[in-house]
């Protein structure tokens, strides 16, 4: 087997494929359909080479005091933003990360890695800001689980948005069939003022996905609400369908998610369903090799 691998390495060294990228689905196809064929082995070996190069970089995470402007602290702090949106977000309340002041990371035996952060969070609509402490635990395990977050930023909840929420709720209920929008923001970065509450709702719903998907090695930002539609609702909660585009900054990928969620002033936003749609570069043909 060792000889075989050496041989294949030599071959791949000679043919020199310049455009090999790591794709898990190719690896599984190679194993299940043609375990002995040389071309598949070549692919697999190239991936193993890539993995050997990539894993140490990704796996060794910094411990102890962190540089607050570097990725590890920034990624953990971004998770706090998504968490606050899932907890307290509304068409009239939306959180952003302004600054990380300090951070540290530690390995917690058996459970994962925990980040302690001091950060300034702002509430985008009222433009209020507050320094808060937060803890983010990324659980360890076979299956990726959402980070556990604790954060206290109560000052940012002081603006009373009840009457604005009630008015919007009434407007949506009475004009149900008219409530929909697409491309928030549009390609010029513009959003019609009347669509802003829908945009904010789309961001809050997307934060549930970003909180669930975030790891120590990712950094999710909202890219666009492709479309959002109010569905006919049978109870007090308004139900929306939403198609959202998220920007994963580390891989530079845009990921598409389809969401169904509810909103009411009393209960806030709850996500009923979330489904990731295929990556666009998987639907399209790969670029020509010629
Ligand atoms: C917010 O304002 C509403 C009236 O618009 C009032 O009924 C409610 O008690 C206020 N909530 C808080 C927490 O002050
Ligand atoms: C419903 O839509 C109509 C027409 O756009 C508008 O005149 C009316 O004010 C809306 N109702 C509410 C409660 O906003
Ligand atoms: C929503 O946007 C996505 C992505 O652009 C598109 O594939 C989908 O058909 C749209 N859905 C509706 C109902 O417009």
Digit-coded pLDDT (tens) for 56-89: 344 467 899 999 999 999 999 999 999 999 999 9
Q: Report how many domains make up the chain.
A: 1
Three-point CA angle 150, 151, 155, nearest 5°: 155
The rounded distance, in Å, linking the Cα atoms of 13 and 90 is 55
**Distance of CA 201 from the midpoint of ligand 3 (Å):** 17
Ligand nearest to the backbone CA of 168 = 2
CA of 178 to the centre of ligand 2 (A): 9
pLDDT above 70: percentage of residues in the chain = 76
CATH classification at residue 155: 3.10.450.10
Full-model pTM? 0.78
Structural domain includes residue 84: yes
Give burial (CB, 10 Å; 0-12/13-18/19+) of 273. exposed
Q: Please classify residue 178 by burial: count the beta carbons closer than 10 Å to its beta carbon, then call 0-12 exposed, 13-18 middle and 19+ buried.
A: exposed
Instruction: Examine the pLDDT at 15 and tell me if it is beyond 50.
Output: no
Q: Is residue 290 part of a domain?
A: no
Sign of CA dihedral 234, 177, 273, 122: negative
Range of the domain at 64: 2-282
The residue that leads in pLDDT, 217 or 290, is 217
Average pLDDT over residues 239-259: 96
Distance from residue 132's CA to the centre of ligand 1 (Å): 25
Rounded Cα–Cα distance for residues 129 and 124 (Å): 9
- Asked whether residue 91 carries a pLDDT value surpassing 50, the answer given is yes
- Going across the sheet that includes 128-139, the strands are 64-66, 95-108, 112-123, 128-139, 148-152
**Which region, left, alpha or beta, applies to residue 227 given φ > 0 means left and ψ of -120 to 50 means alpha?**
beta
pLDDT digits 0-9 by tens, 27-58: 333 233 333 333 333 333 343 333 333 333 44
Confidence of residue 196 (pLDDT cuts 50, 70, 90): very high
Which of 184, 243, 257 has the most ligand 3 atoms within 8 A of CB, as the residue to mutate? 243
Q: Which residues line ligand 2 (CB under 6 A)?
A: 170-171, 174-175
287 domain-assigned: no
Among 83, 119, 123, which Cα is nearest to 99's?
119
Nearest CA to ligand 2 atom 12: 171
What is the pLDDT at residue 60? 63
Q: Is residue 288 part of a domain?
A: no
């Amino acid at each position: 087997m060792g000889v075989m691998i050496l041989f294949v390495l030599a071959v791949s060294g000679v043919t020199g494929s310049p455009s090999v990228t790591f794709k898990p689905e190719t690896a599984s196809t190679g194993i299940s359909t043609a375990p002995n064929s040389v071309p598949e082995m070549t692919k697999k070996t190239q991936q193993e080479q890539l993995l050997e190069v990539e894993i140490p970089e990704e796996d060794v995470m910094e411990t102890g005091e962190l540089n607050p402007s570097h990725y590890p602290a920034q990624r953990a702090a971004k998770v706090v933003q998504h968490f606050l949106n899932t907890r307290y977000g509304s068409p009239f309340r939306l959180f952003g990360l302004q600054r990380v002041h300090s951070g540290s990371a530690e390995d917690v035996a058996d459970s994962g890695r925990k980040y302690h952060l001091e950060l300034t969070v702002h509430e985008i609509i009222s433009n209020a800001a507050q320094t808060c402490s937060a803890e983010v635990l990324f659980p360890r395990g076979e299956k990726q689980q959402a980070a556990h977050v604790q954060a206290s930023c109560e000052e940012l909840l002081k603006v009373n948005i009840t009457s604005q929420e009630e008015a919007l709720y009434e407007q949506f209920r009475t004009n149900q069939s008219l409530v929909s929008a697409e491309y928030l923001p549009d390609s010029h970065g513009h959003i019609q003022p009347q669509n802003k509450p829908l945009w904010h709702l789309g961001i809050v719903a997307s934060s549930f996905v970003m909180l669930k998907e975030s790891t120590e090695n990712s950094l999710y930002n909202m890219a666009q609400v492709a479309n959002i539609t109010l569905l006919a609702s049978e109870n007090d909660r308004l139900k929306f369908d939403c198609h959202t585009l998220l920007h994963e900054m580390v891989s530079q990928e845009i990921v598409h998610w389809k969401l169904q969620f509810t909103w009411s002033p009393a209960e806030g936003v709850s996500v009923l369903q979330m489904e990731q749609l295929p990556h666009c570069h998987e639907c399209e043909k790969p670029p020509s090799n010629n």
